[in-house]
Chain A
Amino acid sequence: MTNALSPPRTIRAIAVAWVLALVVVPVFALVLQSFAESPARFWHAVTGRAAWDALVLTFVTSAIAATVNALFGTMIAWVLVRRHLPGKRLLSALVDIPFAVPTLVTGVVLVALLGPQARIGQLLGDWGTPIVFARPGIVLAMLFISLPLVVRMVEPVLADLDPDEEDAAATLGASRWLIFRHVLLPAIVPAIIAGWLQAFARCIAEFGSIAALSGNIPGETLVASVHILGELEAGDATAAAAMSVVLLGVALALQPISRALVTRSGAHG
């Protein structure tokens, strides 16, 4: 790195000032606001009945969604890398669709498809397993929004693997399951876990789709982000900030793990 190539000081100053003003100040203000009154207040805002219920619901549904997508996302990644299908590019484009669809729209559309006014929704209601305005709907919305994260995490790692290793194992008489278990899986497990973590982090932050389809029933289908909005609307910015800090803290705590796993799986390539 020669000196001539480093950007001029003014450029550095602009970048630092911009990030400071746009990102650091608001986030700093949010954290300070959460502790504005007292630690006990913070604790109560997070562990009070309604808040705690919302947190548990958010983490459990996010974990379920991330797990299902880790499974199916890996399968889709495998199809994209290893199968020669007509229309594979279409499948690849489909996987990116959730990035393009506004999450609120995801919620609205799922209500249109599965809500009590829709034919499928009526059937589900008759069977006693409503999806919309119930907990399964929360998971469904999370599945939609977080699928691409797993696929795009596992896909490049799979693409870097040498199929010859699998061929060699097969030539030596290994069964399909054995090949999967001992050749393929160990190589992609770090990427799958990293994908799980990213999906989980994305799901706990989700607001739009869930606000539209969960019904937001306290203690039943009210997730953390919707709870935060409720606290703010009730005029309690401190409680809202406390809950926000918990959500952000969890997401940030997962980041280094996810990053280390990405580095590890990259080393296989």
Chain B
Amino acid sequence: MGSRSSRRRRPSGVGLTVAALLYAGFLIVLPLAALLLGVIENSGPTLRVLASSEAMGALSRTIGLTTTSLVINLVLGVLTAVVLVRDRFVGRDVLGWFTDLPLAMSPITIGLAFFVIVGRNGWLQPWLEPLDIKLVFSFPGMLLATLFVTFPFVVRETVLVLSEVGTSEEEAAATLGANPWQTFTLVTLPNILPGIAGGAALLVARALGEFGAVLVIGGAISGVTDTATTFVFHAVEERQLFAAYGMSMVLVALSVTAMSAFNAISGSLRR
């Protein structure tokens, strides 16, 4: 770094810096500050609405969907990532392509895709009905949609780390007589944990905030399939703004906390 006159020699861009900071400030800070202020100003009524059984039920459903998706997609996401990076077979690229597909889809489209299969005239209905399995307008249906929406995150982050780590340590372990399971748990897994945690951060944020897909497949029935986001949507429609802002704030707080926690874990593991 040339300290002598680096300001003159390289584009210094004070104006550019100010413009970038103003843009980020107005676009991101201002709306969130407004939300925070609104909730603080009316904290009494807001807390009362949040303590209602409808609000608590919706929130617990969201948390249930998020944690279940996290557990399932952590396991299957890591497994899929290992197959994508370390396995060799015809169709592996196709598998990778389909793994990324949910990221390209609109939430509404995702809900619709499941509706086409398990909805009232859905394709699987002739098989599901005799078994008395009802997926549309139910928690399991919403779980399916959430699993779909959040599947790519852990896979992607794990794939990145897995290809970076390389295979030399695994080869050494195998040469020393470790079986594949030992090699995976003792050598591979510790190496890829930062990537897994990074993927979990994105997964949790997306699951907590998912709206369109669970709206379509769950139907947002109050007390049955209402989630935190559909609760906010109903509250806005019914002009119950305390409820809407309160639940929004809870979601933002949960999401930011979970995301920072997983990112912190990821960061400390990387070191």
Contact = CB atoms under 8 A, between A and B. Distances in A.
B89 A12 contact: yes
Contacts of B167: 1-2, 5
Contacts of A204: 106
A60 interface: no
B232 A108 contact: yes
A14 B109 CA distance: 26
A78 interface: yes
B229 interface: yes
Contacts, number: 263
Contacts of B256: 97, 100
* Majority secondary structure, B binding face: helix
B148 A22 contact: yes
Interface string A97-116: 11111111110111111000
Given A23-B101, A207-B107, A228-B112, A108 B244 contact: yes
Interface in B223-241: 229, 232-233, 236, 241
* Majority secondary structure, A binding face: helix
A229 B107 CA distance: 10
A50 to B, nearest CB: 16
Interface string B157-190: 0000000000100110010000010010000000
A11 interface: yes
Given A79-B16, A144-B27, A4 B2 contact: no
A11 to B, nearest CB: 6
A229 B236 contact: no
A98 B171 CA distance: 41
A179 B112 contact: no
Nearest to A164: B2
Given A100-B252, A100-B255, A15 B83 contact: yes
A142 B249 CA distance: 20
B137 interface: no
Interface stretch (A39-47, A188-196, A245-253): A245-253
B236 A108 contact: yes
Given A2-B171, A101-B255, A104-B232, A113 B16 contact: no
B133 interface: no
Q: Range of interface residues on chain A?
A: 35 or more
Contact of A248 (B21, B88, B105, B107): B105
A98 B202 CA distance: 11
A249 B241 CA distance: 38
Interface of B: 1-2, 6, 8-13, 16-17, 19-21, 23-24, 27-32, 34-35, 38, 76, 79-80, 82-84, 86-89, 91, 95, 98-99, 101-102, 104-110, 112-117, 119, 123, 144, 147-148, 151, 167, 170-171, 174, 180, 183, 202, 205, 208-212, 215-216, 229, 232-233, 236, 241, 244-245, 248, 251-252, 255-256, 259
The 8 closest A-B pairs by CB, nearest first: A102-B209, A205-B106, A26-B113, A170-B9, A244-B109, A30-B113, A207-B212, A251-B104
Given A176-B12, A206-B106, 7 more contacts: A1-B86, A83-B13, A91-B21, A95-B28, A102-B255, A176-B11, A237-B119
23 contacts: A1-B167, A4-B180, A12-B83, A12-B87, A14-B76, A16-B91, A29-B116, A76-B20, A102-B248, A108-B245, A113-B30, A113-B31, A147-B24, A166-B9, A176-B13, A179-B11, A205-B107, A207-B107, A207-B212, A237-B116, A240-B112, A241-B116, A248-B104
Interface of A: 1-2, 4-8, 11-12, 14-16, 18-19, 22-27, 29-30, 33, 72, 75-76, 78-79, 82-83, 85, 91, 94-106, 108-113, 118, 143-144, 147, 163, 166-167, 170-171, 176, 179-180, 184, 201, 204-208, 211-212, 224-226, 228-229, 232, 237, 240-241, 244, 247-248, 251-252, 255
